[in-house]
Structure 1
Amino acid sequence: MRTRPSACRPNHTGRSPVPNPPNGGCLHATGTARIQQDAPPGSARLPRRVRVMLAMLLLPALGCRSPAGVATMPTQSPVIRSVHLSAPSVPRFAMLELRVDLEAPADNPFDPAQIDLSAEFTGPGGRTVRVNGFLDRPWSRRLEGDREVLVPAGPTQWKVRFAPDRTGRWTARVRLRAPAGTAEHSPLAFTVTPSVSRGFIRRSRRNPAVFAYADETPFILVGENMCWGGWNGRRGTFDYDAWLDALARHGGNWIRIWMSSWNCALEWSPDKEAGYGEFRGVGRFNLAHAWKLDRILDEAERRGIAVMLCLGTYGEFTEGGFFGEGQWKANPYNQANGGPCARPADFWTNPRARELYRRRLRYLAARYAHRTCLHSWEFWNEALAPPEWVREMAQCLKGTGPFAGDPLDPYGHLVSTSYGNDAVWRIPEIDFTQTHHYGKGDIPDSAPVIREDALAHARHGKPHLMAEFGIDWRKGDENYDPDGRGVNLHNGLWSSLLSGNAGGGMIWWWDGYVHPKNLYSRFASLRRFADQVDWTAGPWQQLQASPPELEGPGGKPGDLRLPATAGWGRAAEEPWTITPLGPDGSRPLPSFLYAPAKPDLRTTPRLRVDFAQPGRFSIRVSRVSVAARLRILLDGQPAADVRLSAAPPARPGATPEYKSTALNKEHNVWQAEFDREIAIAVPAGPHEITLENMEGDWAEVSEYVLAPYRSARAANLNLYGLAHGRTAVLWAQNRDHCWKNVFEKRPIPPVAGARTTIRGLPPGRCVVEWWDTWKGEPVRREEAVVGPSGLVLRLPVIERDVAARVLPAPPARSPRDR
């Protein structure tokens, strides 16, 4: 999402000093950490200027860096004094923690070239797992008014964390490498006992569209974004306590957290983000933030909630922005702040920047990868990283490609990023695809958009998420839902799962909308339904259902008005077939017509129509960027050709065609509001209509109209569903029951007497179980028969929406069993 706290930045961590080695020295951890400035033997007798020059000459040869003004010499070999196990036995998949008392010279304890702590765990059958260590420090929290303050609760400590996946006897051998030598501790034994934990979440082996545990128990995502503590972030982890508790009580099992400078980032420039913790620049990590993330993950894990951890956001590479989210000037990778990058684009290609990012991944994996509640690593929020960069970092985590055999994450957590494109989604190490979608208060319902997005991404053969959605990217959904009805949230959840995504859509506005309006019951209803479906029985396919139609006599055809709801992005190449009952497949029509200047986005949408009598086809243009030349072709021949310009008229006093125009300062282009209809006459019979933008930038279309065209028997319903074998699930929605109609208090006529025919199910008896989607409970079961032409399903009266499960009928009981 394009946002961060702006007017009032979160100030949730104290500014207490952190006595980690700020300037180098010998790091000694005994359950405590002591910093001492060691100089070369005899150097105290030399003048200081000579000592500094000597250090600067010798340090590079030893692989260490000297901080400004300090001569730090790693002259002693590393020592492991002791290793302590957190317990002599642990349950399977639970955390075993090693606390390591070590002494080693270091300028930067977060640089593995200076201190490389690891442990090799050997389990039953001789299997070994190597896990990296990390530097930690305990903190405590308190509220001062409504502001969270973090204060140190002890000294630094070296640790190794491990989650064993097999029961039996294990050993742990700790190793320490440094430029001055290597140390090794004798093996320690521990026992792993059985547990009820299912372990880590993976991609299902049976159904490529969903996630599952190793035993193929489905993990269907039902949750929301929960990216930082509060709009102003002041209450920090205390906010998470309340949110996680409410979500878990209502069946939520999934959230997304950002690591941003105002939340849980490890790296940032000192003094650039006052109150956000103790930042020390590139390559040096904020241990207060690291502890804070540990605590949030503890609370999520305790409540059975999985986490997609987003490691950064696009604002780190921009300036300005609608929310003031651009942070490049404060980015520690910026040369102005001591980093290696002269400009943002260098981050993706500069060898030093990539090495520093891999170092950050190492720390993250060492500290958090043991957690079974960690669903996935998400490299970026809305930063379109080059595929080469994404591949390198994903392979680094997973130990593939040039990193084969040495994974930073030995548990194989899932990996993704946003944004992505086909080149990114094709990377084998990227486990799932995702999309973010918002309107500007102009898209009446998110359901059709989410449906189209799910269909478009199914070709990748990976789970897909609508990982962010909302009514308006500029402001919260509470502005369009003051009564807290949660209609768009509800529709986004159900349309996502029943269109083939890996779970419900993830609403963005968690802190100003979901929690204050207490909308958690919307998650509960979907979770109860999802738990009744065997999602990993095998691959599920899109439901083959005819467009719903009303039973009874027909009437005169009316106008078929189709809103353009696909939003920004490349439209499908395949034509839309528009039947008198509506678009075949319910795919949203394109919202934008792009000129050749945008080749990555441009297509020429085609509509296949069949007019029973002569009529007309029209589009309504709502916005234009720069200019547009719009052509409508009928059966390949131009039928309309209209030029529109967003620029002010060149001749003073001339009347423009637009309603208003404004200069977009970010892109330095004129963008205008229009209300312009472009229409053509269409003879009776089948035709193909093509839309083209030949010049300029883009034009936005709000509506497509075919008149007269709509069958009087067309039911005003969206119908989405999936099928596997003899089982099917579906969601039928009254199209008028959308947030916009509810907000504007428009009448929403119920749809009665509709039916559809479901094809593709094996013939035989079945049971149809109807669900109240708002209460999350079945309300009726009825027997039916799948005949040669399919299952004729008569839908109940639909005021809002309903769901159904189609199940094989139980075997008939013999007379002896009665």
Structure 2
Amino acid sequence: MNDNQTERSKAMLPPRKIIWLATVGGACLIAVLVAVLANDHGKSESAIKLEDPDGKAGPSIVATAVNADKVGLYEKFELTPELKARYDNPYDPEQLDLRAVFLSPKGKEWHINGFYDGESWRIRFAPSELGEWRYRLQATDKTGTTTGEEGVFEAAASDRHGWVQVSDRNKRFLKQADGTPFYGVGAAYPWGVTESGLDKLKSAGGNLITYWNGNYDSAGGSKQLESTASGIGRYDTDKGQRVDELVGMLESRNMKMNFVIWPHDSLTDKLEGWPATWTKNAYSTLGEAKDFYKDEKMWKYQEKLYRYIIARWGYSEAIGSWNLITEMSGTDGWAFGDKQVANAWLTKVHDYFRANDPYGHPTAGSKAGNENDYWAHAYRTLDIADRENYYDLTVSGYAEDIARRWQPFEKPLFIGETGNITDATTYHQALWTGLSNGLAATPIWWDITKLDEDMYMMMSSLAQFVGKLDLSEIRAPAKLKSGTVSISLKDRPVEDGKDIADWSQPNWADANKDEKGNDYSAQLEDGSIRTSMLFRSGAFSQGALTQFFQKQDWSGYPRLLAEVYIEQAGSEEIKLRPVLFPNGNWDEGNDASDVKLVSGQWTTMDVPLLDAPEGYWRNNEIKRSDLQNMMGFGLKLWTGASAKDAKPVTVKVRNVRLAADPGSTVAVEEIQGWIMKGDKTSYGWLLANEDEISGKKATVDNFGEGKATISWYDPWSGTPLEETTADSDKGALALTAPTLARPDIAFIIRRST
């Protein structure tokens, strides 16, 4: 290297940085040593020793810049070396392997991989101990290995708490690296993340988002990290820069990201009814989506992808968790492949991150959010037992799910996707049910666009309450006991006609498509649901209009009523039959349920729910237990003799309701309530099943002897209310809610010493 080249290399370094000349294998090179102050640290006997695997001279480390001589604990220390090496693909560690060893003040070695970001080589690290850290770089290409001299930087105190990890004290919860408990409060923000959006979440107490390595981020990085555009074994620069940007945005706000590495659509190609972007995935150039979980060649590239992700973003405390896959049951490899192979793949990916992520970020993953999408293998394998829930957004549904997963697996529980509706009451109850039953984070609402101002207020109130709790204390969940009350049943609307998104027309029904094959869609019109159907197959033809909702209990109602109208130009006889979805499963009426529709007239459909005549339902008799788990209903219109030149038929539906018998009642618990019981403090939540919570009573069994002080809180506003005291009686503690014109109330119980 000539003098001019040396001067140019010096000019690349920030002020007060030092470089050393070294000779490796007889070749002169400028080796790394940066991040030191102007004083001479010298070379101690405990220098970091790195072995040269083949003894041959390797790449030249021409110069290295650092971002700072001193960084705070858990903040980014970044090296940017300039390399002269031999490779075709800078992303492939088999062609060029850049790495470093960092030695902590207490003598712990951290082995950190480098990466190429599309423009520069980088090594990113975050220190976890105060004091002087030392490091050495090593690079290997086809010519051999080069080891640089030692560098030094200092770690100073900061207000950071470090990487999220599973608590080693309280298995239910997460902590940060310095031991600070972490309770996730947030929402799915899978794409389109903005500064203002994060600020709004942060101001409401939010600290966690879910982000997808997917194809929909129009704000930047609209491709997968390893896409067909980048090519297999190479990584999309726009996506990489976008995740860099997001990590920085989150770091500046002390927020975390649940980073979804494999969104389900990235691994889906031919699975009907699911979004499919496999053709945009670089792995599609190696084979079919159904083989992704078992293909060994694909796995070799995956290992390099996971190494890259850890190297580029693992340092950051903004990475809350690695979500290895979301909704695996919506991928080709699960639907068309061997499920045991898919489970084995999940274990292999988890094991890779456990072995190669030096920061210990927890892993998570999920199946889809239907009731039967219970995934014991994932809950047993991954660090966080994450289950989606789109099937039952009731307080009992959430509580049952949490209890079902905690007992056999005893690890932090997430409800990683739920909601997908804008409803402040449902959201509020989901938050408080999750907290009082021991979730490690709020149920993650899908998605941020469904949150309105009232829901942000609900989030803020819960976050304020969580801030009063010491989550490191070990607690056990319990359901509170209460008396029963009798509630009069009244006619109950099933659909208020305000949300057309609740209605759909399944695309398998031929009459649900127009003459060009396009799907019809329902609209609102004067309080009715209006759509079209086209019965023109030349023979049997059918259409359907369905409405889905969260699980409801219809068991107290004897009949379902709806008014249906058609307007047709032809003379074909069109009949109507009911459809119900007990437990989410389609069950339609039989011939005995059919009603003939007359053009230009409203016809009432009267469906017996209890004591239906034998044979009324085609598939199975509807039992009371089915009515307790109703998740939707529908209307099927059909004709046995359609004309090939038939015209579209107008269809309208209105006034769908459950009819109650006069004077009928149903007995329900006075309140629903749960508590997290601890030896020192306990916390929980009460919800009245009728009217306001004022004066409602509940009992905590097995509380132990002694007096307790109960601090009451308004969960809607976060406002502290009053304090009351109570004495346990034979181990049972009686609670009486103070006056509050709300349906629910939160509390913290402190045992008297």
Fold shared, TM-score > 0.5 on shorter chain:
yes
Instruction: Tell me if the contact between 1:622 and 1:700 (Cα under 8 Å) persists in the aligned partners.
Output: no
Question: Which residue number corresponds to residue 650 of structure 2?
Answer: none
2:646 maps to 1:701: no
- Mapped to 2, the partners of 1:328 and 1:755 lie a distance apart of 55
Displacement of 1:257 in angstroms is: 0.8
Question: Which residue number corresponds to residue 692 of structure 2?
Answer: 750
Q: Say which of 122, 133, 140 aligns to 1:159.
A: 122
Question: Which residue number corresponds to residue 717 of structure 1?
Answer: 671
2:84 maps to 1:103: yes
Question: Which residue number corresponds to residue 683 of structure 1?
Answer: none
Question: Cα 1:76–1:496, aligned 2, differ >3 Å: closer, same or farther?
Answer: same
Q: Say which of 116, 119, 122 aligns to 2:97.
A: 116
Displacement of 1:361 in angstroms is: 0.7
2:211 maps to 1:257: yes
- Mapped to 2, the partners of 1:674 and 1:393 lie a distance apart of 53
Work out the percentage of aligned pairs sharing the same amino acid.
22
Displacement of 1:775 in angstroms is: 0.8
Amino acid in the other structure paired with 1:523: M
Instruction: Tell me if the contact between 2:263 and 2:327 (Cα under 8 Å) persists in the aligned partners.
Output: yes
Displacement of 1:560 in angstroms is: 13
- Mapped to 1, the partners of 2:584 and 2:174 lie a distance apart of 45
- What is the 5 A alignment of 1:618-633? 623=580
Displacement of 1:454 in angstroms is: 0.7
Aligned partner of residue 126 in structure 1, secondary structure? coil
Aligned partner of residue 438 in structure 1, secondary structure? coil
- Mapped to 1, the partners of 2:466 and 2:744 lie a distance apart of 16
2:305 maps to 1:360: yes
Question: Which residue number corresponds to residue 205 of structure 1?
Answer: 168
* Pairwise CA RMSD: 4.1
Displacement of 1:422 in angstroms is: 1.1
Question: Cα 1:205–1:126, aligned 2, differ >3 Å: closer, same or farther?
Answer: closer
Q: Say which of 514, 526, 534 aligns to 2:451.
A: 514
- What is the 5 A alignment of 1:178-217? 178-217=141-180
- Mapped to 1, the partners of 2:126 and 2:684 lie a distance apart of 39
Question: Cα 1:351–1:627, aligned 2, differ >3 Å: closer, same or farther?
Answer: closer
Question: Which residue number corresponds to residue 307 of structure 1?
Answer: 257
Q: Say which of 376, 381, 394 aligns to 2:326.
A: 381
Q: Say which of 286, 309, 321 aligns to 1:340.
A: 286
Question: Which residue number corresponds to residue 412 of structure 2?
Answer: 463
- Mapped to 1, the partners of 2:168 and 2:583 lie a distance apart of 49
Q: Say which of 372, 380, 392 aligns to 2:348.
A: 392
Aligned partner of residue 520 in structure 1, secondary structure? helix
Q: Say which of 245, 248, 256 aligns to 2:202.
A: 248
Displacement of 1:711 in angstroms is: 9.4
- Mapped to 2, the partners of 1:559 and 1:413 lie a distance apart of 51
Per-residue CA deviation, residues 180-219 of structure 1 (Å, 9 max, x unaligned), is 2222211112222233322222112222111112454321
Question: Which residue number corresponds to residue 545 of structure 1?
Answer: 480
Instruction: Tell me if the contact between 1:558 and 1:708 (Cα under 8 Å) persists in the aligned partners.
Output: no
Aligned partner of residue 703 in structure 2, secondary structure? coil
- Mapped to 2, the partners of 1:31 and 1:674 lie a distance apart of 81
Aligned partner of residue 198 in structure 1, secondary structure? coil
Question: Which residue number corresponds to residue 493 of structure 1?
Answer: 431
Question: Which residue number corresponds to residue 775 of structure 1?
Answer: 717
Aligned partner of residue 700 in structure 2, secondary structure? strand
Question: Cα 1:710–1:750, aligned 2, differ >3 Å: closer, same or farther?
Answer: farther
Displacement of 1:124 in angstroms is: 2.2
Aligned partner of residue 783 in structure 1, secondary structure? strand
- Mapped to 2, the partners of 1:766 and 1:469 lie a distance apart of 36
- What is the 5 A alignment of 1:427-442? 427=381, 430-439=382-391
Q: Which runs of 5+ in 2 are unaligned?
A: 1-8, 14-55, 335-341, 368-373, 495-554, 561-577, 598-604, 613-617, 631-659
Displacement of 1:348 in angstroms is: 0.4
Aligned partner of residue 216 in structure 2, secondary structure? coil
Aligned partner of residue 609 in structure 2, secondary structure? strand
Displacement of 1:346 in angstroms is: 0.9
Question: Which residue number corresponds to residue 472 of structure 2?
Answer: 536
Amino acid in the other structure paired with 1:453: D
Q: Say which of 275, 281, 300 aligns to 1:331.
A: 281
Question: Cα 1:678–1:449, aligned 2, differ >3 Å: closer, same or farther?
Answer: same
Question: Which residue number corresponds to residue 750 of structure 2?
Answer: 807
Q: Say which of 673, 694, 701 aligns to 1:759.
A: 701
Q: Say which of 139, 149, 158 aligns to 1:176.
A: 139
TM-score (normalizing by structure 2): 0.67
Question: Which residue number corresponds to residue 633 of structure 1?
Answer: none
Instruction: Tell me if the contact between 1:198 and 1:213 (Cα under 8 Å) persists in the aligned partners.
Output: yes
Per-residue CA deviation, residues 213-233 of structure 1 (Å, 9 max, x unaligned), is 24543211111111100xxxx
Amino acid in the other structure paired with 2:466: A
Question: Which residue number corresponds to residue 16 of structure 2?
Answer: none
The more displaced of 180-189 and 795-804 is 795-804
Per-residue CA deviation, residues 441-488 of structure 1 (Å, 9 max, x unaligned), is xx6x532221111111112101111111115xxxxx24xx5xxxx222
- Mapped to 2, the partners of 1:536 and 1:674 lie a distance apart of 56
Amino acid in the other structure paired with 1:530: V
Question: Which residue number corresponds to residue 349 of structure 1?
Answer: 294
Per-residue CA deviation, residues 331-353 of structure 1 (Å, 9 max, x unaligned), is 3212xxxx222x21210011111
Instruction: Tell me if the contact between 1:267 and 1:281 (Cα under 8 Å) persists in the aligned partners.
Output: no
Displacement of 1:523 in angstroms is: 1.2
Aligned partner of residue 462 in structure 1, secondary structure? coil
Q: Say which of 458, 461, 471 aligns to 1:525.
A: 461
Question: Cα 1:805–1:518, aligned 2, differ >3 Å: closer, same or farther?
Answer: closer
Question: Cα 1:129–1:380, aligned 2, differ >3 Å: closer, same or farther?
Answer: same
Question: Cα 1:699–1:122, aligned 2, differ >3 Å: closer, same or farther?
Answer: farther
Instruction: Tell me if the contact between 2:559 and 2:607 (Cα under 8 Å) persists in the aligned partners.
Output: no
- Mapped to 1, the partners of 2:257 and 2:296 lie a distance apart of 30
Question: Cα 1:304–1:186, aligned 2, differ >3 Å: closer, same or farther?
Answer: same
Q: Which runs of 5+ in 1 are unaligned?
A: 1-27, 33-74, 138-155, 230-238, 271-278, 400-406, 472-476, 565-614, 629-643, 661-672, 681-692, 737-748, 812-818
- What is the 5 A alignment of 1:14-33? none
Instruction: Tell me if the contact between 1:772 and 1:779 (Cα under 8 Å) persists in the aligned partners.
Output: yes
Instruction: Tell me if the contact between 1:619 and 1:703 (Cα under 8 Å) persists in the aligned partners.
Output: no
Question: Cα 1:625–1:702, aligned 2, differ >3 Å: closer, same or farther?
Answer: closer
Displacement of 1:321 in angstroms is: 7.5
Instruction: Tell me if the contact between 2:558 and 2:608 (Cα under 8 Å) persists in the aligned partners.
Output: no
Amino acid in the other structure paired with 1:240: T
- Mapped to 2, the partners of 1:436 and 1:699 lie a distance apart of 27
Per-residue CA deviation, residues 281-329 of structure 1 (Å, 9 max, x unaligned), is 2221111211111111111111111111011211123347898721223
Instruction: Tell me if the contact between 1:627 and 1:698 (Cα under 8 Å) persists in the aligned partners.
Output: no
Per-residue CA deviation, residues 488-515 of structure 1 (Å, 9 max, x unaligned), is 221111111111111211111312x326
2:68 maps to 1:87: yes
Aligned partner of residue 628 in structure 2, secondary structure? strand
- Mapped to 2, the partners of 1:413 and 1:619 lie a distance apart of 52
- Mapped to 1, the partners of 2:729 and 2:155 lie a distance apart of 55
Question: Which residue number corresponds to residue 128 of structure 1?
Answer: 109
Question: Cα 1:283–1:775, aligned 2, differ >3 Å: closer, same or farther?
Answer: same
Question: Cα 1:798–1:722, aligned 2, differ >3 Å: closer, same or farther?
Answer: farther
Instruction: Tell me if the contact between 2:693 and 2:737 (Cα under 8 Å) persists in the aligned partners.
Output: no
Question: Which residue number corresponds to residue 247 of structure 2?
Answer: 297
Question: Which residue number corresponds to residue 600 of structure 1?
Answer: none
TM-score (normalizing by structure 1): 0.62
Question: Cα 1:617–1:88, aligned 2, differ >3 Å: closer, same or farther?
Answer: closer
Question: Cα 1:326–1:215, aligned 2, differ >3 Å: closer, same or farther?
Answer: same
- Mapped to 2, the partners of 1:616 and 1:297 lie a distance apart of 51
Displacement of 1:658 in angstroms is: 9.4
- Mapped to 1, the partners of 2:63 and 2:629 lie a distance apart of 73
Instruction: Tell me if the contact between 2:582 and 2:626 (Cα under 8 Å) persists in the aligned partners.
Output: no
